[in-house]
Amino acid sequence: MIRFLAISFGIFFLFSSCSLRTTEGLRQVPHVDSEITNPYFANSNLDYVYKAKIEVYTRNFGGIQIIKKTDANTHRIVMTTEFGGKLMDLEYDGHTFTKNFVIDELDRKFILEVLKEDFRMLLIEKTKPIATYISPEAQVFKASNGNRFDFYFFGSTSGFLDKIVKTSKSKEKVTVNFSSLDGQVAEKIAIHHNNIQLKIDLEKFKEEKNAN
């Protein structure tokens, strides 16, 4: 009996430590080979401009986050202070980031790697998933990203991309929540890191109404 309990607990802990929270309550369904799309930074005619609020270990920073798709595979990513001074200017071609300008205070390998990884999650437009899950609320696609995974949650009623979760095999690392009215442009984006105390909240600039 003791041996049975020991094995049972062992199995329980083994499974609980390996179980990924992201897929809890989801049902895996047969996967159809297809491509999914993140539409939120995909329109090269739009300037994507957001007010950014960043909270790092109880410290708060702000700025303006500007993203533009400059050709089929390339995005320009600029962050400025509220006064307009450039903090960071990067280019991403879908594989590699090029650093055009970064102020000394942010030009640290660790900081840049974290931010690049966040931007990658936001900007990757087409992804080929490797597994599909469903729940009453969402259709979820799992994509492979090196030794990590990205889970894309699409609302089952709206069809809008609501969330991307980056995970290891057993833990959620980063969650990106999108709020969108039309499924094409995200009004709000919340990036929350689980392994470091970092939250980035982006709120889209509202279009100025013409006074005439």
CB 33 → another protein: shortest distance, Å? 36
Position of tokens 């739009």? Answer: 46
User: How many residues line the site for another protein (CB under 8 A)?
Assistant: 30
177 binds another protein (CB under 8 A): no
107 binds another protein (CB under 8 A): no
d(CA 79, CA 65): 5
Residues 132-161 that bind another protein (CB under 8 A): none
The residue range among 76-84, 114-122, 150-158, 184-192 that interacts with another protein, by the rule CB under 8 A, is: 76-84
CB 205 → another protein: shortest distance, Å? 5
CB 79 → another protein: shortest distance, Å? 11
d(CA 50, CA 64): 6
89 binds another protein (CB under 8 A): yes
How would you class 7 by CB atoms within 10 Å of its CB: exposed for 0-12, middle for 13-18, buried for 19 or more? exposed
Q: Determine if residue 4 is left, alpha or beta; phi over 0 gives left, psi from -120 to 50 gives alpha, anything else beta.
A: alpha
The residue range among 22-30, 112-120, 132-140, 198-206 that interacts with another protein, by the rule CB under 8 A, is: 198-206
Nearest 5 degrees, angle CA 41-CA 57-CA 110? 60
Sole binder of another protein in the list 16, 34, 60, 157 (CB under 8 A): 60
> What mask, x for binding another protein by CB under 8 A, covers residues 9 to 48?
------------------------------------xxx-
179 binds another protein (CB under 8 A): no
Q: Most distant CA pair in the chain: distance in Å?
A: 82
CA distances from 55 to 38, 135, 177, 198 (A): 25, 32, 16, 6
How would you class 120 by CB atoms within 10 Å of its CB: exposed for 0-12, middle for 13-18, buried for 19 or more? middle
Sole binder of another protein in the list 22, 40, 78, 149 (CB under 8 A): 78
d(CA 74, CA 164): 21
Q: Which residues contribute to the site for another protein (CB under 8 A)?
A: 45-47, 49, 51, 53, 59-62, 64, 66, 68, 70, 76, 78, 80, 82-86, 89, 100-101, 103, 203, 205-206, 208
